[in-house]
Structure 1
Amino acid sequence: MIDGQPPSRLPWQVEMVDLFAGPGGLDVAAHWLGVSAVGIEWDRNACTTRMCAGLLTRQDDVRLSKPADYPQARILSGGPPCQAYTIAGAGVGRRALDRVLSLAMAVAGGQDITEDLMRLEDERTGLVLEPLRWALDAGVPYEAIVLEQVPAVLPVWNAFALVLEQRGYSVDCGILEAEQFGVPQTRRRAVLIARRDGLAKLPRPTHRRYRKWQAREDGDPGLRPWNVMGEALGWPERFTVASNYGTGGDPRARGQRRSTEPAFTVTGKISRNRIVGRPEGMPDRFTEGDAGKLQTFPPDYPWSGQHIAQQIGNAIPPRLAVHVLAAAMGKNVDDAKLDWCVKRSWKDTRNGVDGLLRDS
């Protein structure tokens, strides 16, 4: 057990349990909202970051833990590993999707699927089913459930929705665009929200959707312009980022984004993107601190351990997570207050931000 929180808060006393917690994207959001959380995470490096950030952590395999270990938790959240499903990966999970959907129904029927999981080509593929097990095994149903993954997992969330609705939850799921919630990068996530009390609705966008051919000032006047790389990083000079990935199937056709646009999706390989016309004295690659800012982690977040770029790339942006968690609680977010929050020291905001939540 790694416990970096004040001793007055014990694991079984927390309000939220976060499965596959990583370095803390959902947990940072929970703390900003004033919700105490414990994260279950296997990776030693992510746990080191969490310890340095003072996040309550259980370093363990999610499959070996159970809801009864956290009897006071009223919110279940999680972002299962995405490597098997991501477009950038080998696609094992996508090929096994039909099998995973049938296993979800088996879990709902109370069947033991241990041997079935062992036969999967990549054991990480089956980890996406763990949040459903937790939801069904909870002695007292969770008041809210929040799950997020890469877009390819949306059919799994839809299957979960059918199961949870049969057990008294209102459920909504779909694809959210991170830049529509103020994150200075384009990033698509499949999100599920379930509520026991009230109608579950995904959060409404606060910012305009990024379009390459559209000016920042164009679009829905009721929404804020998308946030941009240059402002998020605090670099007044103009620059351009050349992607490491090709477009249209041509590896030589590198996409480009200007500093007045959102960044490309932040991944563990962000350092391969090249900065053209970089500010004087700056390296021609994004640093780990830069990547953290583009993910909307606090500017002084204490990234630690090894494989930091991968930790950052795997995390859900806390700014997006705030909107999702608030929606699961039946609340809205004061987005101007969230602007302030994202730029502040982690020490200043770790115990909650007054006025961040509003009634829906």
Structure 2
Amino acid sequence: MHTYKIAVIPGDGIGKEVVPAAIEVLDKIAELDGGFQFEWTYFPWGCDYYLEHGEMMPEDGIEILKQYDQIFLGAVGMPDLVPDHISLWGLLIKIRRGMKQSINVRPAKLLAGLESPLKNPQNFDITVVRENSEGEYSDSGGRIHQGVDEIAIQNAVFTRKGTERAMRYAFELAKNSRNHVTSATKSNGLTYSMPFWDEVFENVKKDFPEINTAVNHIDALAAFFVMKPQAFDVIVASNLFGDILTDLGGAIMGSIGIAPAANLNIEREYPSMFEPVHGSAPDIAGQGIANPIGQIWTGKMMLDFLGHHEAGARVLKAIEETLSSGIKTGDLGGTSTLLDVKNAILSHL
């Protein structure tokens, strides 16, 4: 039996509640499968750690994490006590960059038993591949002068290597889906980065003649997510565009609380990191009413990345059966608790 060593960072807020629930589900599917098991190691890093130690994670945190197969993250953020830029760059982005997790993957699909706020969602099933290491989130720029003359400059850095890597990953995903890739661009407004993005996309698609393609400006694409989400299969987007688009994806599913994500080191040189999109939700933390589905679905993505696709499919099926039976947390219009949802998923497994 293969044992996967997983580094667990519950983080802040509801992360400390949903992570143990998801781990219980993952342990159960491993037990039912019989071919693998997990060995979990917890790390108390996050905003509480920062308030005590003055840093979000230890100086040698990246070296510690390199010893594990994958990283399972809950949520990061305590904005009332720790500024967001400190919590984000001190842990989440530090891990993403340190582990060369250059690809971010976020699915958005209409789950059985869940009502989309869209009038006619037509069973959409979208995967957004987001370039995760550069682009608009590049740490390049600065501020000079003060008062009315103050200037802030934020540079968006796009490399051919990083751009092409994200696009090739999207095309490979489409091979196992519906053979369609849409590129998110804004070349009618951004005069250097997006024409470059478009050129790389045109070059990459030549290597995948069997895949159909489309190019949409990001503003139109956001509108299409609402008007005709069923038209999309795999979408490849820059760091900022992908980030915004996937939150919209969570919204059309019915709640951002169910949206999963994977930060992938596709070369498998370092561990990848799996985290839900919902954040720490400090307003409901500690009340036992958080939705664990985002974290559990994130665990399903980790199973897929490890090659256990059948086990992953069983987890998603149990999620859908739970929702279809009417067991839903408050963000989905229900009255069930986190414990109710977890126990129902375990029962359906």
What TM-score do you get using the length of structure 1 for normalisation? 0.32
The structure, 1 or 2, with the larger RCO (C-alpha pairs under 8 Å, 6+ apart) is: 2
What TM-score do you get using the length of structure 2 for normalisation? 0.33
Higher helix share: 2
